[in-house]
Amino acid sequence: MNSISALPPPPHLLANNRLSPSRDFNMSASRKRKASEEPDHDRMSTSPTITGRQLPPPRSKRTRTGAAQGRPLALPRLLETLSADQMRQLLQNICDQHPKLQQEIVTKAPRPSVESTLQVLSKYESTFQQAFPLGNRPTSDYSYNRVRTQLRELIEAVREYTPHFLPPQETADSISLQYLDSVTNMIHRLPDWDTFQHQRHKNEAYDEIAKAWALVIKEAAKRAGGFHLQFGGWDHKIVEHNQKSGGKMAEAVNEVNIALGFMQPASSSSSQQPPGVSEERASIRQQLFSGTYGGHQLGIGQHGW
């Protein structure tokens, strides 16, 4: 028993548990540098979760503009700011500088209507009426001298617009008659000046508008024998216009008489009857004009009810 040598006790396993193993600092630093030197996309490509996923295209950076700088407006924006008067003046200036464009603009421009034309003429009439001085008779020489320019502009506008609504430029009788009726009333509203010489503008306007009426009536008489004039009541309107003008529209009234084939009084000779109108046809038209046609047959005459 004594011959057996005693063995030293084994070292305790937890004796140096708090001591961390010694590491080489250079080795750890090289490992870190090696890991950081690897490209990111190589490591991402090995990930199974993003295999086949396409990266979004790189966005192009917006180039920075320089400092704020003024520049003229584009044509569409510029035209939006122009008033009607400015637009008309601009077109007129362009046509004056380039005469070849005038016909193209006239061809492509919308056709003026009776309503739009009367609106323009009403503006001329309003300008004329507003030019009268206060506290003076509107028919005096002083008033005439104050509004003479506006009066001429109104008469000139009527003179230039009227041919547009006459045949053959205008083929619809109703449109021509509607325009002439409104313009004639406008002439009626012109003052009768105290001085006879100042009446020249109004008398000339009556003369020209009477010729326009006569032309339209003559063309309307070629369609349906002129019955359109009577059924539309234009024959009565022309007679009223002639009375208001003091008989200055007699030419238009004569054309109405020819178109409708009025019979002369019984005492007059048959030679005064308009040419080309038979007695029977003239009698029928006379009865239509007086409103007695068919009254005896239908019992709807003057005492038929």
b vs e for 270-289, b when ≥16 Cβ sit within 10 Å of the residue's Cβ?
eeebeeebeeeebeebbebb
With CA atoms as reference, report the closest residue to 91 among 105, 107, 80. Answer: 105
Q: What is the pLDDT of residues 20-42, one digit of tens each?
A: 555 555 555 555 555 555 555 55
Check whether 286 has a pLDDT greater than 50. yes
Give pLDDT, residue 278. Answer: 52
CB-based contacts of 245, cutoff 8 Å, min separation 6: 184, 187, 188, 206, 210
At the fourth CATH level, the homologous superfamily of domain 93-234 is Tethering factor for nuclear proteasome Cut8/Sts1 (1.20.58.1590)
**pLDDT at residue 117, as a whole number:** 97
pLDDT at 122 over 50: yes
Residue 249 pLDDT > 50: yes
For residue 181, what pLDDT is reported? 97
What residue spans define the domains of the chain?
93-234
Range with the poorest average pLDDT among 13-17, 52-56, 275-279:
275-279
Q: What pLDDT does residue 266 have? A: 39
| pLDDT mean over 117-127 | 97
Please name which of 170, 180, 274 lies closest in space to residue 234, comparing C-alpha atoms.
180
The predicted-structure confidence for 212-232, as pLDDT tens digits, reads as follows 999 999 998 887 656 667 767
Omega before 48 within 30 of 0, i.e. cis: no
Q: Which residue has the higher pLDDT, 66 or 120?
A: 120
pLDDT at 135: 85
Whole-angstrom distance, CA of residue 154 vs CA of residue 187: 10
pLDDT of residue 280 exceeding 60: no
Contact by Cβ (8 Å): 224, 231: no
- Residues 261-268 have a mean pLDDT of 45
* Cα 248–Cα 251–Cα 257 angle in degrees, nearest 5: 125
